[in-house]
Amino acid sequence: MDGDGNHDGGLREKIGVVIADDDHGFATLLTALVRSDGRFDVLGHARDGSEAVALTFERKPEIVLMDVVMPVVDGVEATKTILALRPTTKVIAVSGVDDAQLALDARMAGAVEYVQKGRVADDLLDAMVAAVPAG
């Protein structure tokens, strides 16, 4: 885990996002994409599902961008654990695989959306905005 964000334990003006992806290059791309929209702040990056759970519990993001296929604990199991601990967190599953069963598994675990990595530039920010209504 690392502290990519401005987490200070206080109130945030932006919507907090944790990125969970074992592909460092893709996580860097996601970070840049998320930060390109002024409404969001990346609070950290987890490299596996276990780190994602710990980082979510520590940083309390509104959104977790969860790679479905990761080492140690996969994204589906991590999603279940995160939502059991923090049911208000919105998890958006992200996968490099166009697999209907994997998408169904992610949604059954509680993910609000399933975005293919090849469509991230087109679909991810819209999914994030839809996940956290303006308040």
* Per-residue confidence (pLDDT) for residue 7, from 0 to 100: 43
Question: What whole-number percentage of the chain has pLDDT above 90?
Answer: 69
Give the pLDDT band (50/70/90) at residue 49: very high
Spans of all domains in the chain = 48-135
> What is the separation of C-alpha 108 from the centre of its chain, rounded to a whole number of angstroms?
16
Give the pLDDT band (50/70/90) at residue 4: very low
Can you read off the two tokens belonging to residue 80?
């279940």
Locus of tokens 């840049």: 32
CATH topology of domain 48-135: Rossmann fold (3.40.50)
Mean pLDDT, all residues of the chain = 88
State the pTM of this model. Answer: 0.87
67: left (phi over 0), alpha (psi -120 to 50) or beta: beta
* Per-residue confidence (pLDDT) for residue 13, from 0 to 100: 85
* Per-residue confidence (pLDDT) for residue 127, from 0 to 100: 85
* Per-residue confidence (pLDDT) for residue 24, from 0 to 100: 93
